[in-house]
Amino acid sequence: MPDATYYRKGFGLRAEVEEELSGDYTGHLVDLLRAQEYVLAAGDVTIRLAREFGFCYGVERAVEYAYQTRKKFPDRRIFLAGEIIHNPHVNAKLAAMGIVILAAGADGFDYSSVQPEDVVILPAFGVTIADFERLRALGCVMVDTTCGSVLNVWKRVESYAKDGFTALIHGKYYHEETRATASQVTKFEGGRYLVVRDLGEAQMVVDYIEGRGDRDAFRARFAHAASPDFDPDRDLARVGVANQTTMLARESLAVGELVGTSMESRFGSEYRSEHFRTFDTICSATQDRQDAVLALLAEKPTVMLVIGGYNSSNTISLAAICAERVPTYHVEDAACIEVDTKTIRHQPIGTKQETTSSDWLPMHGAITVGLTAGASTPNNKIGEAVARVLATRGIDPASIR
Ligand code: SF4
C-alpha cells in the first residue's frame, strides 16, 4: 500500500500550477537574450548572458512541488524545513502563499508547532537523518523535494561508511546540504565524516596524514565539522572523498587529488588504492554554469554581475570565478542595482557583508556587461537586472523588443 504521508514525486498537478509559476518567475528580457544567442545590444551597452544560468533542474522541481503542495492541501497548514532554495524572492513568494519556513537550530529544525495533520516540505538540499526521523515520528505529511543529484552524493557517502571509509566532504559544514549529506554516515555503525571547506583545510588533513599534525589541535580545529568522536589517528586511515554539489568544481578535484597523492607519497600506491577513494559529486547543473561563465569571461566583459542569494553556495562559486578576471558584483536581487543613485549593493567576494558601491558601471563609452545567476535565481530577476543596468545607462528598457 502506498505511504499516504510521504510524497516525493509530486501530485500530478503540474498543469494546474504552470501558469502561476510562469507568472512568478519567467522574464521577457531573458527570453529575448536566449533568442538572440545570449547577446543584447542597446546603444553603447552590450549585455552578454552566460549560456547556462539560473534555475537548475533540482530547483525547478522543488519549487514546482511546493506550488503543487499548496494546491493539493489548500486547507492544511504547510511548513518548510528551512528555505526551499537560497533565494529570498522565491522564499518570499512561498511565504505569501501561507507556507511557513521553520527556523533551524543547532539540533535541527524547530518542529514544536507541527501537528500530525500538517504538511512539511523538505527542501532541495534534503534534511538530516535526525530531522527526517523526527518528522516521521510526528506522523505529518512529508513532501520530499530532495534533488536527485543530492541523493547521488548520499549514496556515495553511504557506500564509504558501509565499507569503513571516512567520508571526507568538500563543502561548507553549516550548509543544509552538507549537514544532510554528512548525516548519512550514521546509517552505519562506526560511520564517520569530516568536512573541509577549501584547499587550506584539505592541507591540514594532508599534514596529519603525513605525520605533521597534532591530534588535539586537529580535533579542536574540526570539532564543528566532523563526526562527534572523530579521531584523526583512526579515521584518516581510510578516506573517501565526496563534495557538496555546488562547490567550485576545480577546487573539489584538487582536494581529492591532494589527499590521494599524499597517501601515495607517504605509504605507496598500493596503500592508496586500498585506503583512498574519490568521486566527483559536483552536480551537472553546477558544472555547466561554471563552464558557461568561463566561456563568457573569454569574451572579456567590462564588468560581471552575478545574481543570487548571498548564502547561495553555487552563486558564490560563480562570483569567485568571475572576480579572478574582471570587476565582479554579486547582488542578491535585481533591486540591489539602484538606478536613481547609480549605485549597487553587493557582497564583495570572500566577505559576508553587503556593501554599496558607486561608479560601478562606466557611464560613457561602449561597455559589455556580463551576466550570470546562481541555480536558485528565477529568470524574472535576471531580466529585471538587465533592465536596471540599461536604465542606469539612460536606456529605456521598454524600448527593447
Ligand atoms: S544545484 Fe545541483 S544538486 Fe542542487 S538542486 Fe540544483 S541540480 Fe540539484
Cα 166–168–169 angle (5° rounding)? 140
| pTM for this predicted structure | 0.91
Q: 149-282: same fold as 57-147?
A: no
> What distance in angstroms lies between residue 171's CA and the mean position of ligand 1's atoms?
14
Q: What CATH class has 25-56+285-399?
A: alpha beta
Instruction: Using the mean position of ligand 1's atoms as its centre, give its distance from the Cα of residue 124 in Å.
Output: 7
Mutation probe of ligand 1 site: the residue of 56, 57, 154 with most atoms within 8 A of C-beta? 56
Beta-bridge partners for 167 = 193, 240
Q: How far is the CA of 311 from the centre of ligand 1 (A)?
A: 15
Q: Which residues are near ligand 1 (CB < 6 Å)?
A: 56-59, 124, 147, 149-150, 245-246, 283, 285-286, 314, 375
Question: Within 298-376, where are the H helices?
Answer: 313-323
**Mind listing the pLDDT tens digit for each residue in 145-186?**
999 999 999 999 999 999 999 999 999 999 999 999 999 999
Strands 337-338 and 343-346: antiparallel
What residues are labeled active site?
Answer: 177
| Per-residue model confidence as pLDDT tens digits over 257-309 | 999 999 999 999 999 999 999 998 999 999 999 999 999 999 999 999 999 99
| Domain boundaries of the chain, sorted by first residue | 25-56+285-399, 57-147, 149-282
Task: Return the CATH number of the domain spanning residue range 149-282.
Answer: 3.40.1010.20
Angle between helices 249-267 and 284-297 (to 10 degrees): 110
Provide the strand spans (E) within 130-185: 141-144, 166-170
- Is residue 110 within 8 Å of residue 103, measured between CB atoms? yes
pLDDT in tens, 232-267: 999 999 999 999 999 999 999 999 999 999 999 999
* CATH number of the structural domain 57-147: 3.40.50.11270
The three cell numbers of residue 153 are: 552524493
Query: CB–CB of 371/50 below 8 Å?
Result: yes
Q: Which residue puts its alpha carbon closest to atom 2 of ligand 1?
A: 283
